[in-house]
Structures are given as structure tokens and as C-alpha cells.
Amino acid sequence: MSSNSQAFQAIKGTYDILPADAPTVLAVREAFAAPLRRAGYGYIETPVFEDINLFSRGVGESTDIVTKEMFAFTTLGGERIALRPEGTASVLRATLEANLHRVGNLPVKLWYSGSQYRYEKPQKGRYRQFWQVGAEAIGAEDPALDAELIILADDAYRSLGLRNFRILLNSLGDRECRPVYRAALQDFLRGLDLDEDTRRRAEINPLRVLDDKRPDVQAQLVGAPMLVDYLCEGCKAYHEQVRELLTAAGVAFEDDPKLVRGLDYYTRTTFEFVHDGLGSQSAVGGGGRYDGLSEMIGGPALPSVGWALGVDRTVLALEAEGITLDAPATTDVFAVPLGEQARRVLFGTVTQLRREGVSADIVYGGKGIKAAMKAADRSGARWAIVAGDRDLAEGNVQLKDLSTGDQTPVALDVLVTTLKEKLQ
């Protein structure tokens, strides 16, 4: 590269997951996925971009996500496309398109894993490309489903060893009781000293104003009417059942009457997992019930509930609690050939070991014995196979235990069997 050119760097708000960090990231994803598989959720993967209207209609015209944070563009064919800012709308679109709600039992239980994209102001714990594992239970209105998903997320976080997180729980009411509350809240907000953007938001979706993090807005919200006081009997009973099921399962939660979350589609149960070691970006996951979303995007009535858990922030939460996850050894056996003939023979041995399910590697680039043994130590392997021309002439290799330094000759024709026995 010429002296006046610069090396490329990752785009602002994105980062690389490098081999040193990958075991933790993969362990977090697996911890989220394992309880879902046990509970009968099937895996689904959707495209990372969709028709922009899927999100503006589904996520909500008044949300920050749609008004300020979407990566939107026009294709060469003139289509308006957006990178997905969240997973639920895409999963519901795929469910409707494939008629999953018609061909099987309801609810349709699905989980996904992948990256989402939002044009946010980057800071620690908030990125423009971020990873989530999500779960959706589509097509049934049952407090047990809401409780099930919260319990599965709680189990997932605990399986990683996390303890300093809390579950915030609220009900956002339904079509019967929310309009009454909405009118009362709008009346209250019209009397406040708010900027023009916030006043506009108060007219479109006043609940979003409760979620405003600015201290001057929060100070004015003291004494605002609370949704909990406006819930209809049906919503009260439903919410009480969710609370009872969580308590019976030993899952602790805190009632938070101000919890609304940043998406317009939530109804009834809404919840958030927050971690106290992460500062302002404390939400590590959350979700809720979205009974009207299917109709918003052109489908039939399909009451549903789901959540998304943040992989990036959960990794930060593990750091905050000082939890290191044991990384699996990447290599069991490392081959050190001394000479050209040994290189050919040991390359064949390494290939055979891999085909037998043993993780094996070989030194590359013609290193000398000292550098080669250093490479074997760095690989984290338990065993090294060392062979020169004299060993091979006798039909042997030297098998070295890298944890003790002991070395013994082993016949080449029983080497693979011997190694497999020792590794068991």
C-alpha cells in the first residue's frame, strides 16, 4: 500500500468480533438459544433488509427508530428498502407469507439470531450494527406464554452466571382501556413546557413521552396519570395471572408503571431486563405482547408475544460482573514435522485425525523446532506429534504431553487410535 493511502477501518458504530472474544459471544448466543429449543421454538432466519413500510407500519411512525434511526435506501429498481432495525416485524411477515399460522398448531413458536441495524449515536453498549437473539410466540393470547418467555430469558441469563440484573414488568392495556388513558395523558402533557418535537410525539403516541430520558422532561412528568390506574378488568386479570405464574416459578420482578419500551406495537404485558453494571445503556433485553401487529401489516388477528435479548450488552454485563466463560480448546493435537518427508506424512495424519472428529493442526511455513514447539504451546493443544526422518524410518512418531513435557514413541499405524483413547 502506498505511503499516502490509509488502511481501512470498521465503519463508525460497528466492530469486529475477533477470535479472542468469539467464544464468549458464541456462548451467550447458545445460552439464549438452548432454553428456547427445549421449549419447542423452531429456528427462523429472515433477510436483513425488507420493504421500508413493514417497519414504518409495524414499529410505528412516531418512534425514534422509524423517524431517525433506520438505514433506508432506494434500490436501482426504485424500491424503498430498510435494513431491519428489529426482528419481530420480519418474523411475523415471514409467518404470514408462509402461512405458518394456518398449517400448524397455534401458537407458532419461533426463535432467531442475527444482527439488527440502527443509525444511533455510537457509545459503549450502543452500536449501529448489533446482535440479538429473539423469540416470538404467534397466534395465542395466554398469560402462560408471556410468563414462559420471561422465564426462559431469566433461565438464559442465569445459566451464564449473571446475577445483577432485574426484570421490570408493566401492562400497557389493550384497545378497550388504552384510548381512555391516552386521552388523559395527552391532556396532562398539553399543560407541560415541551419542545416542538416532543409535543408532536405527544399527539401521535403520548406513551413514548414517558420513555423520554431527558431530566427536564422527567421532572415535568411527576404526577402524570399512570396506565395501571386505567386498566380494564380484563387487562388487570391478565396481568395478575402473568405475575402469579412468574412468582410461582421463582422469578423475581419489579412492577414499573412507567415502562413503555420504544416500539408502538406493544399491548398488555411489557417487560425489560436491566443490568445495574452498564450505566445508561442498562437494558440487556426486553419484549412484550403485540396483539395488533399482524393486522397493522396486513394479516389476520394473531395475538402474539416475544422478546429480543442483546448479545453485545450481555457480553458487557458479563464483564461488569467479572464473569469469564471457559473457552473450549480449539486444538487437541498439534503436529511438528522435522523435514520434508515428515511434513508429508504428518499432514496426512492431521487430515485423518480431523476426519475422525479430533481437532488437529500442523505447523506451517517451515519453522525450526524451537519456533514450532512454541507454536504448539500457543495453540493450547494437549498433545504434540513430533517426527523426523529417523522416527519415520522406524515407523514411529514421538507423542509429547504438552502439560507435563513427557514424551513417548508411538507406532504410526496406531497413532490415531492412541490419540482418540487418550483424548477420551
> What's the CA gap between 315 and 22, in Å, rounded?
11
Domains and CATH numbers, the chain: 22-177+231-320 (3.30.930.10), 333-423 (3.40.50.800)
Binding site per annotation, positions for L-histidine: 86-88, 118, 132, 136, 261, 265-266
Residues belonging to the binding site are 86-88, 118, 132, 136, 261, 265-266
SS3 166: strand
CA distance 33 to 133: 7
**Element containing residue 405 per DSSP (H, E):** none
Report the distance separating Cα 423 and Cα 358, nearest Å: 9
For 50-67, b/e burial (b = at least 16 CB within 10 A) is bebebbbbbbbebbbbbe
CA distance 121 to 95: 33
CA distance 255 to 48: 35
Say if residues 85 and 79 touch (Cβ distance below 8 Å).
no
Measured over the CA atoms of residue 87, residue 90, residue 93 and residue 94, the dihedral's sign is negative
Report the SS3 class of residue 308: strand
Rounded distance, CA 345 to CA 298, Å?
64
pLDDT in tens, 137-188: 999 999 999 999 999 999 999 999 999 999 999 999 998 888 888 899 899 9
Q: Which three cell numbers stand for residue 69?
A: 434511526
Joined together, the cell numbers standing for residue 417 give: 487410535
Q: Which ranges of 120-170 does DSSP label H, i.e. alpha helix?
A: 143-159
Neighbouring CB atoms inside 10 A of 292's CB total 17
Residue 292 is placed in which grid cell?
395488533
Q: What pLDDT, on a 0 to 100 scale, did the predictor assign at position 376?
A: 87
- Cell numbers for 53: 413500510
For the chain, residues with pLDDT lower than 70 are: 1-4, 60-64, 261-264, 329
CB 81 within 8 A of CB 51: yes
Listed in sequence order, the residues at least 6 apart from 414 whose beta carbon sits closer than 8 Å to its beta carbon are none
Nearest-CA neighbor of 254 among 152, 169, 173?
169
**Cβ atoms of 142 and 120 closer than 8 Å:** no
**Contact by Cβ (8 Å): 386, 361:** no
Cis ω for the linkage preceding 107 (within 30 of 0) = yes
Q: How far apart are CA 91 and CA 79, in angstroms?
A: 21
Contacts of 231 (CB under 8 A, 6+ apart): 171, 173, 177, 239
Predicted structure pTM score: 0.88
Cα distance between residue 16 and residue 145, in whole Å: 36
Q: What is the pLDDT of residue 62?
A: 59
Return phi, psi of residue 101, to 5°.
-75, -15
Distances in whole angstroms, Cα of residue 324 to Cα of each of 61, 309, 315, 335:
41, 19, 10, 30
pLDDT value of position 87: 95
Asked if 189 and 222 touch (Cβ cutoff 8 Å), the reply is: no
Q: What is the pLDDT of residue 138?
A: 98
Would you state the cell numbers that stand for residue 327, as one nine-digit string? 473457552
Q: How far apart are CA 349 and CA 395, in angstroms?
A: 13
